[in-house]
């Protein structure tokens, strides 16, 4: 299997409505992806408010033979389901996806807290039952925590077959994300790694000018995104690298270098290490949008954080960032509308203190 996976969490939408996916555009993207021999599609119960799974059914499952693609989806534990709740969500995923079995089924976004909850409701036993029944082919979990917690989970749950980790060249040595350390733990336990956020929510595709210059001076033809994807894909224990593609040109670019992958060289690793020094984001948001679905004030949190980061990269762009912010709040709540309910904090895989950060954004962007 080729190492590029199609992440179905940032699909093109109509009118800024995350639930109104542009299926015709997605079909065009899927057709190009499949025509180049790529087969791996990654979605989740919560992506696009559940409509990501539906988009997969309409754009892939209904249009291609079952043996020509691999599909993954995820069981969210952040909604605190009991056994009946897990069964309900799995059934809904199957119906939405339009398949008879799921190739890879994941417990979604485990950390030390949700791991204890998963054990208490028998989530790991449930995955094993689903596999024994032939409803899923492989089982694992996506993970957002430190290496010590990952080692504990893999030690206590040796039947888990794969782990999905956030790996990119910026987070590789980050003391909070611990990409390298988590990768090494998975490798120690002989668990293949599927990589999420290799471009860190798109931020590594459009880095600050100093970082971009380092990459372009070495290879003017290569996109900045290609450096990030190749970094992750070159790791020996990585099976698939996911890219949350939103436009056809992104598929075109990604398949152009992932079709015949050239591993990252030692010289290129050194260049990426230098580029990482220029990549200091005020708010390390990956735009996963887990925070937005339950926001009672409909605040477009990732977009506001992106405008704030844009300003912090270059203080001379403060007015540009403010104009961008003014456009953002036309279709959602303002940063000042936050009521501090903290549902977003509980949902955030990056463990960001979102209400506090929104207050900082409001002070600088309003």
What's the pLDDT tens digit per position in 129-151?
999 999 999 999 999 999 999 99
Which residues make Cβ contacts (< 8 Å) with residue 276, sequence separation at least 6? 169, 170, 172, 211
Which residues make Cβ contacts (< 8 Å) with residue 62, sequence separation at least 6? 98
Write down how long the chain is: 366
Confidence of residue 118 (pLDDT cuts 50, 70, 90): very high
Confidence of residue 50 (pLDDT cuts 50, 70, 90): very high
- pTM (global) more than 0.85: yes
pLDDT of 21 > 90? The answer is yes
**What per-residue confidence (pLDDT) applies to 314?**
64
Q: How far is it, in rounded angstroms, from Cα 8 to Cα 245?
A: 7
pLDDT of 75 > 90? The answer is yes
**What per-residue confidence (pLDDT) applies to 193?**
98
What percentage of residues in the chain have a pLDDT greater than 70? 99
Higher pLDDT pick, 295 / 316: 295
What's the pLDDT tens digit per position in 265-309?
999 999 999 999 888 778 888 888 889 878 999 999 989 998 888
Q: CA triplet 74, 77, 80: central angle to 5 degrees? A: 150
71 SS3 class: strand
What's the pLDDT tens digit per position in 197-235?
999 988 899 888 899 999 999 999 999 999 999 999 999
- Determine the topology of domain 4-277 in CATH: TIM Barrel (3.20.20)
Counting Cβ atoms within 10 Å, is residue 179 exposed (0-12), middle (13-18) or buried (19+)? Answer: buried
pLDDT of 316 > 70? The answer is no
What's the pLDDT tens digit per position in 1-18?
899 999 999 999 998 788
Q: How far is it, in rounded angstroms, from Cα 118 to Cα 120?
A: 5
Q: How far is it, in rounded angstroms, from Cα 33 to Cα 6?
A: 8
């Amino acid at each position: 299997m080729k190492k590029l996976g199609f992440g179905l969490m940032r699909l093109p939408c109509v009118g800024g409505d995350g639930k109104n996916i542009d299926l015709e555009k997605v079909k065009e993207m899927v057709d190009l992806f499949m025509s180049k021999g790529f087969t791996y599609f990654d979605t989740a119960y919560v992506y696009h408010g559940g409509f990501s799974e539906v988009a997969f059914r309409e754009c892939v499952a209904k249009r291609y033979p079952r043996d020509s693609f691999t599909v993954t989806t995820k069981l969210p534990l952040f909604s605190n389901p009991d056994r009946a709740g897990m069964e309900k969500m799995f059934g809904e995923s199957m119906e939405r996806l339009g398949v008879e079995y799921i190739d890879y089924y994941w417990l979604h976004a485990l950390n030390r807290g949700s791991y204890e909850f998963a054990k208490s409701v028998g989530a790991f036993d449930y995955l094993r039952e689903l596999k024994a029944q032939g409803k899923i082919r492989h089982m694992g979990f996506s993970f957002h925590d430190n290496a010590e917690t990952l080692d504990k989970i893999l030690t206590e749950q040796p039947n888990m077959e794969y782990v999905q980790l956030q790996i990119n060249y910026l987070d590789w040595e980050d003391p909070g994300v611990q990409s390298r350390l988590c990768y090494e733990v998975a490798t120690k336990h002989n668990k293949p790694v599927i990589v999420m956020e290799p471009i860190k929510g798109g931020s590594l595709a459009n880095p600050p000018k100093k970082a971009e210059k380092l990459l372009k001076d070495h290879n003017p033809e290569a996109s900045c995104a290609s450096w990030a994807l190749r970094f992750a894909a070159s790791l020996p224990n990585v099976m698939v690298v996911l890219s949350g593609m939103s436009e056809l040109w992104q598929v075109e670019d990604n398949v152009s270098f992932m079709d015949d992958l050239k591993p990252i060289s030692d010289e290129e690793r050194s260049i990426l290490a230098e580029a990482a020094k220029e990549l200091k984001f005020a708010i390390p948001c990956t735009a996963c949008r887990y925070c937005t679905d339950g926001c009672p004030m409909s605040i477009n949190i990732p977009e506001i954080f992106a405008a704030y980061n844009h300003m912090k990269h270059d203080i001379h762009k403060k007015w540009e960032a403010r104009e961008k912010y003014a456009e953002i709040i036309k279709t959602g709540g303002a940063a000042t509308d936050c009521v501090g309910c903290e549902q977003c904090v509980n949902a955030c895989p990056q463990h960001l203190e979102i209400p506090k950060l929104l207050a900082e954004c409001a002070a600088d962007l309003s």
